Each structure stands twice: as C-alpha cells, then as structure tokens.
Amino acid sequence: MASYSKIPAGATLDIKPFKAHVSEERLRQFKSLLELSPIAPPVFENTNAGRKFGLDREWLVSAKDVWLNKFNWRDCEDRINSYPNFKAPVKDAAANTIDMQFLALFSDKADAIPIAFLHGWPGSICEFMDMLDIIKSKYSPEDLPYHIIVPSHVGYAYSSGPPLDKDYSIETAAGAINSLMVGLGFGSGYLVQGGDLGSFMARALVMSYDSCKGMHVNQMGVPPPENATTEPTPEEMKVLERAKAFIDTEIAFLFEQGTKAATVGYVVSASPLSLLAWLGEKILSWTPEDFPIEKILEAVTLYWMTDTMPRCLYHNRGMGDPEAKPHSASLSFITGMKALHLPFVEKPCGYSKFANEIVPVPKSWAEGSVNLVSYNEHESGGHFAAMEKPLELFEDVEAYVSVAWKAAPF
C-alpha cells in the first residue's frame, strides 16, 4: 500500500511520527460535561427568528443528542491518523520554539513541488482531509508532482501554543511555517495555499520569506481605496454592499475575540456545548448549505480536545493598530475593512473566487492586490472551500502551480 510518508532527503528537522489520541479520561470528562450542559430556554431569538440571532434552539438540541449518543471521536482520530502524520520542533519569526504538527503526502519524485495548505478559523487540518483523499486517488507516491504539507497553525490542534510571556501575531506564527518548510528541505522554494486565516498566513509568508515563491488563496485581500481609479462597477457595488452587511450584522464575534480574548477563552472552555454554539454558528452562517452535523462536530471536538480556542485568538487581536502593544483589535480598523487592505504581492499569485464567500472579491480588485497569474470563479461554494468544493479547489491549485512555478523568482 502506498505510504506517502518518505521524508525528503534534504530535511534537517527532528521529525517524529505523531498519532492523534486523547486519553479515555479526557473522553469521559468531555461526555460528562456535555451531558450536564443545559440548553438555554426557548425565547423569541432562538425559536422564531431563524439564525438571525445565532443558532436556532432546535438545531442545538438535535446536535447535542447526536454528539452525546452517536458521534464517535475515535473514528475522527483514526481518519486523521490515516495520513502520514508528524511533529517537529521549529522556530517562529521571534525564535520561539514551536512543536508543529502536520499531515503530509510526500512524493518520491526528485522534482516534486512543495505546497503548504493552510487552514483557517474556525478550521483545522481536517479542512483538507477530503482533498488529501482526492490527491491520493489521483496520484501514487511515485508520480505525485507535489509534496503536500498541511500544518496545524501555532496554537491550533496538535501544535503547541504561543509563549505565555510574549505577545503574538500572524507574522510571528508564519515564521514557524516557513521554518517547517525550509526544515523539510524546501529552502530553494515552495508555494502556499490558504483561505480565511490561511490566506493571511500565506500573504505573510510570501511577503517575508524568499523561499516562499507564491501563493494561491480562496479569500482575497482588496487594494486600498486610494488605489481606485474608476467608479465601482455593478459587480463591485454588490460586493461592497455584501461587505457592509457582514460588518453591520456578523462581525461582533471578531471584535469580541480581538479585544476580550481571555473572556472568550474562559467561556468556551467551560462547556463543550458553549464551544459548539460559538463555532457552529459561524460554520453554518458562512456556508450556503449546511454541512453534515458529523463534520461540524468533528471540527468542534478537535478544538475541545486540544484546547484550541483559548490558544488561537492572537490573529483576531492583530486587527487593530499595528503599533499597539499588546495587540488588540479596534472597531475602526475592522469596520473600515483595513484588515483586507494589504500590501501588493509581486510574486505570482492565484485566486479562486467562490460565489458564496463572505466577501467575494472580484477579479478586478484582486489584480490591484496581487500579481495575479491564475484565476477561476465558481458559481457555488462558500467560505470553507476546501471542505465544500475540495475537487474544484485542488484543480484550481494545480492550474495555478503549472503557471506560477515557472514564473516564480528563483
């Protein structure tokens, strides 16, 4: 059976096999807490307003029952462990040591192109498992044209968290991914792909490290307003209206996580049901069609078993004045969409636009934000493209790589 687990000869890291497995005690504690967690009483907001004010109560009641009586976390661990799974100590951009966990499909080909697939929030390495299955069905280790690396970000899942005595940022965390890729033997060049937080990590990597030769994203930044030279087109006006609606009614969570990260961490760490309500609301509201409940429970249970939420909120704190110490989000920064007004990327970039993305940035704006060498748009699919449309996204990445690797600055 093909293993895809042969570590490249040029690797310099102390790479160890890793197995996802929580103790039986941890599982029992989880189930006890879940069973004892009450669901708020019926009120107008959770019974007669759809999901306008958050999760509807009927969905949460049903989800709790499935979680408690039918869901099997060991099956999820088995699937995670079905892929080559590793851990290695790496240095982030501030020279902190991070124990970084990653899935990989290594190629036997000497000229395989390294690609890091970077997950978002509230996501994880599990976002890419369907895509990994597609890759395995298409290629054997002998003919796989890529080295596929899927890391858990600093503070997420099985990777260690930021230091307790220092502030932290996306840029600092991105350094750990670069150290991983270089330490795997890819110092001469690699590409990155990401959505949501992964797209911000990708841009930090491509802007800061020579070894990162380009990026493909499914969530795109926008050029600063001062770069606009014409009146918005009808398509651009629709996107602006959509962005305004999101800011008006959907962005409170980001401000809370970015300004009161400690409080959020306490609340969602006290009860699995609290964590499901907090994360499940976003997973459901950012997709045009509901995921199967088991997929949502898989994502939330991974966060619970690894204490991800209180460890991962540094990225939201960064949505404010970059000079502020420690970092904290600010309302004017968020409502002005300044988080999306990012420096122009000169290296070759690709962009997949999915119609139901939160802010489906049009091609014209993408061209003002990056050196766009590959583009495709899809009439369906939303914010979690790797889970919703894994085949379409991977095909777009392959199309991008075929152009970008030749154009990359070596």
Domains of the chain, by residue range, sit at 24-75, 86-227+346-405, 241-336
What percent of the chain is modeled with pLDDT above 70?
Answer: 96
What one-character-per-residue DSSP string does 202-264 give? Answer: HHHHHHH-TTEEEEEESS--B--GGG--SPPPHHHHHHHHHHHHHHHHT-HHHHHHHH-HHHH
The predicted pLDDT at position 377 comes to 96
For residue 228, pLDDT over 60 is answered with no
- pTM: predicted TM-score of the whole model, two decimal places: 0.96
Pairing status of strand 212-217 against strand 345-356: parallel
Q: What is the dihedral of CA 385, 389, 392, 397, to 10 degrees?
A: 30
User: Structure tokens of 34?
Assistant: 């879940």
The predicted pLDDT at position 70 comes to 98
The predicted pLDDT at position 218 comes to 98
The predicted pLDDT at position 409 comes to 73
User: Structure tokens of 280?
Assistant: 């499940």
Sheet holding 190-194, edge to edge: 16-17, 85-91, 97-105, 146-151, 113-118, 190-194, 212-217, 345-356, 370-382
The predicted pLDDT at position 233 comes to 85
For residue 143, pLDDT over 70 is answered with yes
Give the tens place of pLDDT for each residue, 104-128.
Answer: 999 999 999 999 999 999 999 999 9
User: Structure tokens of 224?
Assistant: 């600063």
The predicted pLDDT at position 321 comes to 86
For the segment 245-257, the average pLDDT, to the nearest whole number, is 91
For residue 271, pLDDT over 60 is answered with yes
Instruction: Give kind and range of the element (H or E) at residue 63.
Output: helix 57-69
Q: Choose the weakest-confidence range: 75-89, 299-313, 320-334.
A: 320-334
For the segment 372-394, the average pLDDT, to the nearest whole number, is 97
CATH number of 86-227+346-405: 3.40.50.1820
On whether the CB atoms of residues 166 and 97 are closer than 8 A, the answer is: no
On whether the CB atoms of residues 99 and 176 are closer than 8 A, the answer is: no
Instruction: For residue 410, name the pLDDT band (cuts at 50, 70, 90).
Output: low
